[in-house]
Amino acid sequence: MLYSKMLIPTLREDPTDAEVISHKLMLRAGMIRKLAAGIYTSLPLGHRVLRKTEEIIREEMNRAGALELTLPFVQPAEIWQESGRWDLYGKELLRFRDRGDRDFCLGPTHEEVITDVVRKEVTSYRQLPLILYQIHIKFRDEIRPRFGVMRAREFVMKDAYSFDVDEEAAEKSYRTMFDTYTRIFERCGLRFRAVEADTGPIGGSFSHEFMVLADSGEDSIFSCDSCSYAANKEKAEIGEEITDTRPVPQQALTRAETPGKRTIEEVSSFLKVTPKNLLKTLLYTADGSTVAVLIRGDHELNEVKLKNLLKADSVTLATDEEVERITSAPKGFAGPIGLKVKIIADHAVKGMNNCVTGGNAQDLHLLNVNRERDFAVDQFADLRAAQAGDRCPRCHGTLAVQRGIEVGHIFKLGIKYSKSLHATYLDPRGKEQYIVMGCYGIGVGRTVAAAIEQNHDKDGIIFPLPLAPFQVIVIPVNVKDTNIRDTAFTLYQSLAKEGLEVLIDDRDERPGIKFKDADLIGIPIRITVGAKAIENNQVDIKIRKTGQMELVQTGQVIEKVKGIVGAL
Ligand code: ATP
Ligand code: MG
């Protein structure tokens, strides 16, 4: 491919509207351009990288026996009404009407459509198992599209759905997809981790997120330093070691005036006690009823754990009015003593002694509050958000935190959709059974962006070879010099003939500009053809990732390049 004909509009300066490095570099390298918020064009270079990524995904999905199809992007409201999600999905679902006034939406995901296909086409156990997938556009009207293609509104996803006769078979499909995802991200050349994710009402460890490790990642990953346990922030359990220090003499309960002091920081500095000795009382509304949640002052509540414990569809912090009604005090002064609602507490509260709580009256806190003597807890549970240094829930190891970018998500759905949309099959005895489903997604553009977050330096992108738009770039330092030009073109053609993906920078530009662009767009191998090529048949080969340079005889370039490609 000729550089001059490729449309690679590189930019020298960082675009001002890009916050993260991958977004900056994708714009600067001329891979993408923005059309509207969260809506991007992939220019030829970006397109090639997306295609490379898709091809790896496609090969591995096919190897796993999954079948590719294409589902409609525009979907009628009826199937969403059947599944119940037309009303539940919220504003990420972009709805509109056609000329006949019928309701439609742009597909943010395709469970409804695929279940509709399967309920019509699958009737017998003999047709199962089945894994169907597509690599296609999604639209989600994200509240805050950001970071370029990382969180876009229109984006390409590989979405797959499995259909099985029973739970056991569904778990096998899940395993197969887990292994397939592992191979996909390994083949992409990425450092990643599969972490347990929250499954909501389904339970068990049947949801994993595949996280590309990068310091700029939005997600926290908790992993054990001595076993294979890894989970995302919502899911991370704590193997709490409860040290009940309570046999210490309990001191007399006292009142403390705390005018206007509401937050943990304000109260702890005003009363000169450490946050660790403060007991936070949070009032929550769970499916309409109120509960009080007690958390140690230096800890944070994990709302997902609370939601799962209460088996609630929704949990929200009580409004200021509700807090006043229940505690008879404005927000900021709640405490457990005398509360007439269910009290649940995090395990760490067990070990708290002579602590400080709100006094359920304006500007009042209480000191030396002791559980059992002063108030009762109805239930203890693991409720707090994990922190680095916490005990692993599976062994005696310690949890460490890393940052990551979620690029893939696999989930066991059970019969959620087959029940609501009535997708059944006949078992060997002719009995009708619900099909057990799973769903599996990979964000293609996000994977590319994550690869760049993980692989770049001050000069630009350092593409892992399998994702690179070209494997090799040949740079003639001066195209006006016909000797240099001809040598470069001969080399370019012989590399291409070997099946290598080669770009030749045939532009009449200074070498410095060509080198800068080659570094910016991240081509793994650079071959420079200059005076030495003419004088003593030698070219410079530079490896983008290591910066390593080597003089190679022109006749040995192909062998050398193939060796590097094999090793990278
Ligand atoms: P997130 O929590 O980041 O919003 P999600 O849980 O909504 O992700 P899924 O519905 O599981 O994501 O979608 C599967 C995959 O699609 C994700 O792992 C991610 O790689 C990709 N993806 C999801 N939303 C976006 C988006 N707005 N832009 C780009 N890729 C996305
Ligand atoms: Mg989302």
Establish whether residue 30 lines the binding site of ligand 1, counting it when its CB lies within 6 angstroms of any ligand atom. Answer: no
User: What integer pLDDT is reported at residue 441 of this predicted model?
Assistant: 98
Q: How do 39-42 and 32-36 pair as beta strands?
A: antiparallel
The residues, ordered by sequence, that sit 6+ positions from 533 with a Cβ below 8 Å of its Cβ are 484, 487, 488, 539, 554
Confidence label for 247 from pLDDT (cuts 50, 70 and 90): low
pLDDT interval class at 202 (50, 70, 90): low
Q: H or E stretch including 221?
A: strand 219-224
Express each pLDDT in 386-413 by its tens digit: 999 999 999 989 999 999 999 999 999 9
CA distance 161 to 428: 23
- Give me the mean pLDDT over the 537-561 stretch: 96
- The answer, yes or no, to whether any atom of ligand 1 lies below 6 A from the CB of 171, is no
Cα 73 to ligand 2 centre (Å): 18
Across the range 412-437, mean pLDDT stands at 97
**Ligand 1 neighbourhood includes 140 CB (under 6 angstroms):** yes
Of all protein residues, the one whose alpha carbon is nearest to atom 16 of ligand 1 is: 443
Q: Is the CB of 157 under 6 A from ligand 1?
A: yes
Our answer on whether the CB atom of 138 is closer than 6 Å to any ligand 1 atom is no
Q: Which two tokens stand for residue 243?
A: 């040290």
Q: Which atom of ligand 1 is nearest to the CA of 218?
A: 3
Determine the average pLDDT of the residues in 501-529. 98
pTM score of the predicted model: 0.91
Which one of the ligands is nearest to 152 CA? 1
Query: Cα–Cα distance between 165 and 124 in angstroms, integer?
Result: 9
Give, using CA atoms, the residue closest to atom 18 of ligand 1. Answer: 408
* pLDDT at residue 188 tops 90: yes
Separation CA 451–CA 428 (nearest Å): 47
Burial of 98 (0-12, 13-18, 19+ CB in 10 A): exposed
For 327-348, the pLDDT digits (tens) are 999 999 999 999 999 999 999 9
Banded pLDDT at 242 (limits 50, 70, 90): low
Q: How confident is the model at residue 56 (pLDDT cuts 50, 70, 90)?
A: very high
| Predicted confidence band of residue 258 (pLDDT cuts 50, 70, 90) | very high
Contacts of 293 (CB under 8 A, 6+ apart): 281, 282, 283, 284, 301, 306, 344, 345, 346, 383
Tell which atom from ligand 1 comes closest to the C-alpha of 140: 27
Tell me, in angstroms, the distance from the centre of ligand 1 to residue 404's CA: 13
Query: What is the distance between the alpha carbons of residues 111 and 160, in angstroms, rounded to a whole number?
Result: 9
How confident is the model at residue 200, as a pLDDT? 75
Give the model's confidence band at 17: pLDDT under 50 very low, under 70 low, under 90 confident, else very high. Answer: confident
What confidence category does residue 36 fall into, taking pLDDT thresholds of 50, 70 and 90? very high
Q: Which ligand approaches the C-alpha of residue 140 most closely?
A: 1
Q: Give the SS3 label for residue 292.
A: strand
Largest CA distance in the chain: 95
Mean pLDDT along residues 261-276: 94
Residues 465 and 565: beta-carbon distance below 8 Å:
yes
**Rounded mean pLDDT, 170-180:** 97
Report whether residue 359 contacts ligand 1, using a CB cutoff of 6 Å: no
Summary mean pLDDT of the chain: 95
Question: Measured at the alpha carbon of residue 372, what is the angle toward residues 371 and 375, in degrees to the nearest 5?
Answer: 70
Residue 56, C-beta contacts closer than 8 angstroms, at least 6 positions apart: 184, 187, 188, 466
pLDDT exceeds 70 at position 565: yes
Cα separation, 459 vs 354, in Å, equals 57
DSSP-based helix, strand, coil % in the chain, nearest 5: 30, 30, 35
- Mean of pLDDT values over 464-474: 98
pLDDT value of residue 382? 94
- Give, using CA atoms, the residue closest to atom 27 of ligand 1: 151
User: Which residue bears the tokens 């330096």?
Assistant: 457
CA distances from 203 to 165, 181, 309, 311, 372 (A): 20, 21, 11, 11, 33
Instruction: Kindly write down the DSSP assignment for every residue of 463-530, as one continuous string.
Output: --GGG-S-SEEEEES-TTSHHHHHHHHHHHHHHHHTT--EEE--SS--HHHHHHHHHHHT-SEEEEE-
Q: Is 197 helix (H, G, I), strand (E, B) or coil?
A: coil
For the CA of 407, the nearest atom of ligand 1: 20
